[in-house]
Structure 1
Amino acid sequence: MKDNEYSLAEEIESHGYVIVSSNAIQKFVPEGEDEVPLISIVTPFYNPGEHFESAIREMVNVLDSVGLSYELIAVSDGSTDSSPSTISKIGISTIKDVYHLRRQGKGAALRTGLALGRGKYLGFIDADGDIDPSALRAFIGTVALYEPDIVLGSKRHPMSKVVYPPIRRLYSAMYQLLIKALFGLSIRDTQTGIKLARRQVIEDVLPLMVEKRFAFDLELFVVARRLGYRNFFEAPVVIRERLTSTVNSRAVFNTIVDTFAIFYRERILHFYDRVT
């Protein structure tokens, strides 16, 4: 058995998810002359609403236009609506569908998808349609030209165009001040849901990450920096009028709790130093 096959089987067993497409494991694990894609993009979702199909088709159109080999890994985090069947209905071979039997959190869905990704570059984008997926073109070009460790979408980039309610702007600004105080990260926006990284970064970081909810993005940067990765490149995004949202007061509270948990693991337990 190949090393990547063993890792995939181990990941499936230890994290309790199932692949619901017929013969999906053969699709995920390269065999024989199957092409390994250059880019793997993960899009996690939970009951995403009526705009889900159009958002997925828009992602596919953008990735097709780039002209490079890719796979789009759509991970349902225990959705209870009809959204998982949407992927089968779309019927595009470059989309891989994965299904969590129970809801575990956005971070858990991202972990699942990234662990399955075969590309030289691995990334993710939210599935709710709020972030214009055309940004992926610039992200892919940036990684190819400059080879940064991670390219991240930033609402605070001067070229970003953002439609955002005032309360969300306030939450975002206060959260970034908290992150700056706790971690000293020179990143103006850790939470916008679009990122792309070199495969080596993801392979090194993912085994140390434990976050399953919205603080996954923050932990990604904290662990990456701890392992010596510091070349983070901010890129502009277009955020359209919000169509759906999983962000509420409870989500904000949970994210703050998880943020302090990351601080405790890094500064008190030195948890992320265990393999350095």
Structure 2
Amino acid sequence: MLSVVIPAYNEANTIEDIFKKVKESPYKKEIIIVDNGSTDGTWELIKTFKSDNMNKVKVLRQDKEKGKGAALKTGFMEVQGDIIIIQDADLEYDPENYPVLIKPISQGVADVVYGSRFLGDSRRVFMFSHYLGNRFLSLFANLLFDSILTDISTGYKAFSKIVLDEYLPLMKAKGFEFEVEFTARVLQLGFRVYEVPISYYGRTYEEGKKITWKDGILYLLWMIKCRLESKNYVLKPVLGLKCSEKIYEMIKNKIGRKVLYVGAIKSFIPKFIIGRDLVVLSGKNDIEVRYLKRKYRETSRLKVMSFDQAIRSFDFDTIITYDPEDYKILDKKNIILISERELPDNYYNKIGFVRDGRRRWFVFEKIS
């Protein structure tokens, strides 16, 4: 099922038209409309909207204006569909674009789809300052988050329920800065992000446009904030493929048949050890575990779970880890430690080291 979340603030002139267009889109869906403390009669109109066979309508209201992000969070918490689309309450974005937004997700090639206003479809030609500001913000975001997006500020974003479940606990943005925070987090969490061309019918300030240059400054500040917080969210290997392969060749004869790999997101080593009697891939926090569950398909011999759950559930003959303190928890286990620094010989013997660019990775085993 499709879920369409519509945040609305003082959109009495357009809310009925956009609701009609959303209802007419040829999908069985739920339409969640969140009034963000409107004072122009928007809420009175929203209250009259009814469900039908194709559309389950839910209307919510915030007692005062709290920002687009806050309204979206209220709506997100009610979502039940498999794919979510954010739909602005004005008429700038046309629901006729839904098929092109949904297609990459339904085909399994994308987790998140951005509807870009700059990829070639029809758009209103006006407000050069907004165009220039948007391109600058997109370029700055690409530099910070290693992407090639053309339109981070687009109001059209579609994504899977899995993405929402990952993002919602992390969501802090309350206003238009939601666009930046969402972009940063989905890129940092390793989701597959696609762009598709959409049509766009922009409004002038006289026609009701609300975003201003002040929001552009807020975007920049939030980009920097999200980048500085990246160590908490970036999930990608820190050991390259060749380095991972060299380390595996160094340790393969020391790996038993039942293996726990703690911190498995850090390298490509899992691809070499899968196939043993039991391999459990683990992380030290929920974000890492959820990422591993997305990346690897579990079988009777391949499991993904938290570190604590793994230790309680299975008896391993080999532990691969990046934390030298694990010897205190994993007593009487064969531990292989991969570390960026040399360690004293109190608990570990050095097997060797591998260069990965300018970095050196040392490989140790625990002294029995």
**TM-score, structure 1 length as denominator?**
0.77
Verify: 1:132 aligned to 2:94, yes or no: yes
Partner of 1:42: 5
Q: Offset at 1:147?
A: 4.3
User: Which residue of 53, 58, 76 maps to 2:16?
Assistant: 53
Q: Offset at 1:194?
A: 0.9
Higher relative contact order (CA 8 A, sep 6+): 1
User: Which residue of 241, 256, 259 maps to 2:223?
Assistant: 259
Distance 1:165 1:222, change over 3 A: same
- Write the deviation string for residues 179-224 of structure 1: whole angstroms up to 9, x where unpaired: 1222222211111101111111111122112111212122222212
Is the contact made by 1:46 and 1:76 (CA closer than 8 Å) also made in structure 2? yes
Q: Could you tell me which amino acid in structure 2 is paired with residue 88 of structure 1? A: K
Is the contact made by 1:163 and 1:239 (CA closer than 8 Å) also made in structure 2? no
Corresponding residue SS for 2:44: helix
Is the contact made by 2:14 and 2:89 (CA closer than 8 Å) also made in structure 1? no
Q: Which moved more, 1:41-50 or 1:159-168?
A: 159-168
Distance 1:116 1:163, change over 3 A: farther
User: Which residue of 29, 38, 47 maps to 1:79?
Assistant: 38
CA–CA distance in 1 between the matches of 2:34 and 2:195? 25
Partner of 2:246: none
CA–CA distance in 2 between the matches of 1:177 and 1:141? 26
Partner of 1:244: 208
Corresponding residue SS for 1:134: helix
Is the contact made by 1:114 and 1:123 (CA closer than 8 Å) also made in structure 2? no
Q: Offset at 1:225?
A: 2.4
Verify: 1:185 aligned to 2:150, yes or no: no
Q: Could you tell me which amino acid in structure 2 is paired with residue 235 of structure 1? A: V
Query: What's the RMSD between the two structures over aligned residues?
Result: 1.9
Partner of 1:28: none
Verify: 1:235 aligned to 2:199, yes or no: no
CA–CA distance in 2 between the matches of 1:78 and 1:251? 20
Corresponding residue SS for 2:35: strand
Partner of 1:220: 182
Gap regions ≥5 residues in structure 1: 1-37
Partner of 1:23: none
Is the contact made by 1:152 and 1:233 (CA closer than 8 Å) also made in structure 2? yes
Is the contact made by 2:68 and 2:174 (CA closer than 8 Å) also made in structure 1? yes
Distance 1:226 1:252, change over 3 A: closer
CA–CA distance in 2 between the matches of 1:163 and 1:90? 33
Is the contact made by 2:184 and 2:223 (CA closer than 8 Å) also made in structure 1? no
Partner of 2:300: none
Higher Rg: 2
Distance 1:211 1:233, change over 3 A: same
CA–CA distance in 1 between the matches of 2:224 and 2:39? 31
Q: Could you tell me which amino acid in structure 1 is paired with residue 118 of structure 2? A: R
Partner of 2:61: 99
CA–CA distance in 2 between the matches of 1:261 and 1:48? 31
CA–CA distance in 1 between the matches of 2:163 and 2:124? 29
Q: Offset at 1:116?
A: 1.0
CA–CA distance in 2 between the matches of 1:41 and 1:147? 21
Alignment of 1:111-122 (within 5 A): 111-122=73-84
- Write the deviation string for residues 84-143 of structure 1: whole angstroms up to 9, x where unpaired: 121222333522111111222111111221221100112211111111121012222332
Q: Could you tell me which amino acid in structure 1 is paired with residue 113 of structure 2? A: V
